[in-house]
Chains A and B, each alone.
Chain A
Amino acid sequence: MTQAADRAFVRMEGVGHCYNPEGGPMAVQQIDLEIHRHEFVAVVGPSGCGKSTLLRMVSGLLIPSAGNVSVFDKPVTEPRDDVGIVFQKPTLLPWLSVRKNVLFPLKHKYGRYSAKDEKRADELLDMAGLAQFADRMPDELSGGMQQRAGIVRALLLNPDILLMDEPFSALDAMTREQMGFDLLKIWSDNPKTVLFITHSISEAVLLADRVLVMSQRPGTVLDLIDVDIPRPRTEQTIQTPEFAELTARIRKHIYEPH
């Protein structure tokens, strides 16, 4: 994985962070991770283990106090505008229609958008199955639909990297599973490098190419697991022995003391 030919897209070397600048407990420490282009990496770990800290470091919203983060060999020193972020809550703006919410990144960054952009927004909404809701207000949509609109918003600027911070954790179990498959479809149509934070072990295995397992705070890497389950993955994937084996392996890390 460290061969020069196989250059990592996102690289983290010895990354650690302490939120208190005067010292104190580390939120994460000694993280080494390389993510390849168009790879889907999920991060699992107990609450408060610094999963979101990791994500914010890749986006440049947070500069780690130790180690280096680089994207395509360029160190991350400030917020990057080539990442799309999907948050735990959809955080759509309640005063804008779904279409305008999707176009919001353009409106916000440049102050305007063109008819071409509107067309792209409509195509993305169509892909996410939201075409007929484009003119509705966010509060007229279900939680799952709102979150899909949130994903579409993150895709608008066609970012190289999609950062997802527990995007489905506010949804009910059934919607959640469906959203996972929807996301895989969107991802296969628009390949992106994805960093997906979750606290659901099965969700991580179902979606990702690799799963990073983190320890309790201060978060470190316990395991990095290759998920060799062929795609496309469906609800049948969940019943395969490989799936059971991998989730068991992760569970062991989470529940057994180290």
Chain B
Amino acid sequence: MNRTKALPPQSPAMKKVRAVLMRYASAIFFIALVGIWELVCRIGEVPNYILPSPSSIFHAFFDVEFSRWLTHLWATLRVALLGFGLSIVIAIPLAIAMVRSELMTRVIYPALVVVQATPVVAVAPLIIVLMGTGDVSRVLITCMITFFPLVVSTTTGMLETPEELVELSQSLRAPRYRETWQIRIPYAIPHIFSGLKVSITLAIIGAVVAEFVAAEQGLGYFIQFSTSFFKIPQAFAGLIFLAVISLLLFKSVTWIQTWLFPWSLPKKK
């Protein structure tokens, strides 16, 4: 992108300042935003139970025992990861079945769309009634919200395999499962990872939704619990934890892709 081409000539010092600004632009913006937030809260004397200031949120982190944070964090992470894992285990075989058989596509696909079109938040209480208030229900809810993007991305990727390679496989008279495992699935890897990136952030949403409905621990539960006692700074602290683990999980998916499938990354210019 050539957004910098029409600039007037600059001194080397100016260039350096620009380079630094460019590099830390998002950090500077973020800090400025937090600063303004703090100022608005102080100058406007906004009460903590309406909009807590960044400093009060910071203090709220330490009002809660570290071990309690860990318990909540682990509960949410556990549900999110189990649900995410379960949806991988379900989605990929489903995608393979749909790619290999038109009948399966006709049978499964409409059902998938119906499940996806039903708001999971609305179904969640019913699942709790059906499956109890344990981890199983929460994992199921998470799975329901995460598996659709995975099925779609895996199917799309497998169908984008070049026709020539399918012909090569046919002309070698190779067993069908090798066409799937040696050609189609690897070809779908970039798509699968796009799906995984969407799903992993949805997994946190799923876990939190499930905790809102029924839970005794977890960050979603913690936020709801804190809000009901007007401990808004604490709720914000919980929210920040959620955002951080969501980001870390998202990053982990990218790291795993870079580590295991470096060829599948878009080429750098």
Within 8 A of B (CB), among A129-183: 137, 139
A59 at interface by CB-CB < 8 Å:
yes
Please report the total number of B residues contacting A with Cβ < 8 Å: 20
Also in contact, A59 and B171, with CB within 8 A (given A91-B165, A95-B186): yes
Contacts of B165 in A (CB 8 A): 91, 93
Considering the chains assembled together, what is the distance between the CA atoms of A189 and B150 in angstroms? 49
Could you give, for residues 146-181 of chain B, a 1 whenever the CB lies within 8 Å of some chain A CB and a 0 otherwise? Answer: 000000000000000010110111111110001000
**In this assembly, does A244 line the interface, its C-beta being within 8 Å of a C-beta of chain B?**
no
Cα A59 to Cα B178 in complex, Å, equals 20
Residues of B within 8 A of A91 (CB): 162, 164-165, 168
Asked whether A87 and B261 contact (CB < 8 A) given A59-B171, A81-B171, A108-B174, the answer is no
Identify B267's interface contact among A78, A95, A139, CB under 8 A.
A139
- Asked whether A80 and B174 contact (CB < 8 A) given A93-B186, A95-B261, the answer is no
Report the bound CA distance from A249 to B53 in whole Å.
86
B172, A89: Cβ atoms closer than 8 Å? no
A83 vs B172: C-alpha distance when bound (angstroms):
9
Which of B162, B172, B178 is the most central at the interface, judged by chain A CB atoms within 10 Å of its CB? B172
C-alpha spacing A231/B263, complex, angstroms: 42
Q: Type the 1/0 row for A94-107, where 1 means its CB is closer than 8 Å to any CB of B.
A: 11000000001101
> Contact check: which of A60, A89, A107 meets B182 at CB < 8 Å?
A107
Find out whether the CB atom of B164 lies under 8 angstroms from the CB atom of A108.
no
Contact A94 B263 (CB under 8 A): yes
Q: Which residues of A contact B178 (CB under 8 A)?
A: 108, 111
Complex Cα distance, B165 from A89, in Å, reads 10
Given contacts A85-B168, A95-B261, A95-B264, contact A109 B183 (CB under 8 A): no
Count of chain A residues with a beta carbon within 8 Å of a chain B beta carbon: 25
Measured between alpha carbons, how far is A104 from B263 in the docked complex, in Å? 17
Residues of A within 8 A of B173 (CB): 78-79, 81, 109
B171 adjacent to A137 (CB under 8 Å)? no
Given A107-B182, A139-B267, A80 and B162 contact (CB-CB distance below 8 Å): no
User: CA A82 – CA B25 in complex, angstroms?
Assistant: 61
- The 8 A CB mask of B188-201 against A (1 = contact, 0 = none) is 01000000000000
Q: Mark A17-38, 1 if CB is under 8 A from B, else 0.
A: 0000000000000000000000
* Residue A248 lies at the interface, judged by CB distance under 8 Å to chain B: no
Q: In the complex, which residue of chain B has the Cβ closest to the Cβ of A56?
A: B167
Which B residues touch A127, using CB under 8 A?
none
Q: In the complex, what residues of A have CB within 8 A of residue B167's CB?
A: 56, 59, 61, 85, 87
Are A105 and B162 neighbours in the complex by a CB distance under 8 Å?
no
| Bound complex: CA A61 to CA B164 (Å) | 11
CA distance A107 to B168 in the complex (A): 13
Q: What residues on B are CB-neighbors of A61 within 8 Å? A: 167, 170-171
B174 touches A89 (CB 8 A): no
Decide: B263 and A89 in contact? CB cutoff 8 A: no
- Beta-carbon contact of A80 and B267 below 8 Å: no
Q: Which of A47-88 contact B (CB under 8 A)?
A: 56, 59-61, 78-81, 83, 85, 87-88
Q: Which residues of A contact B168 (CB under 8 A)?
A: 85, 87, 91, 105, 108
Q: Nearest chain A CB to B188's CB is how many angstroms away?
A: 12
In Å, the complex CA distance between A83 and B169 comes to: 12
Q: Could you say which residues of chain B place their CB within 8 Å of the CB of A94?
A: 263-264
Write out the residue numbers on chain B whose beta carbons fall within 8 Å of the beta carbon of A111: 178
Instruction: Tell me if B164 and A79 are in contact (CB < 8 A).
Output: no
In the complex the two chains form, is A93's CB within 8 Å of B172's CB? no
| Shortest Cβ distance from B168 into A: residue | A85
Question: Which residue of B162, B170, B182, B267 is within 8 Å of A79 (Cβ)?
Answer: B170
CA distance A93 to B183 in the complex (A): 8
A89–B167 CA distance with the chains assembled, in angstroms: 13
Q: Is B172 a contact partner of A109 (Cβ separation < 8 A)?
A: yes
Chain B residues contacting A81 (CB-CB under 8 Å) are 171-173
Once the chains bind, are A95 and B263 in contact (CB under 8 Å)?
Answer: yes
A100→B167 CA distance, assembly (Å):
19
**B residues bordering A, Cβ < 8 Å?**
162, 164-165, 167-174, 178, 182-183, 186, 189, 261, 263-264, 267
Nearest first, the 5 closest Cβ-Cβ pairs linking A and B are A87-B164, A91-B164, A109-B172, A108-B174, A95-B263
Could you list 22 examples of A-B contacts with CB < 8 Å? Answer: A59-B167, A59-B171, A60-B171, A61-B171, A79-B170, A81-B172, A81-B173, A83-B171, A87-B167, A88-B164, A93-B165, A93-B183, A95-B186, A95-B261, A107-B182, A108-B168, A108-B169, A108-B172, A108-B178, A108-B183, A139-B263, A139-B267
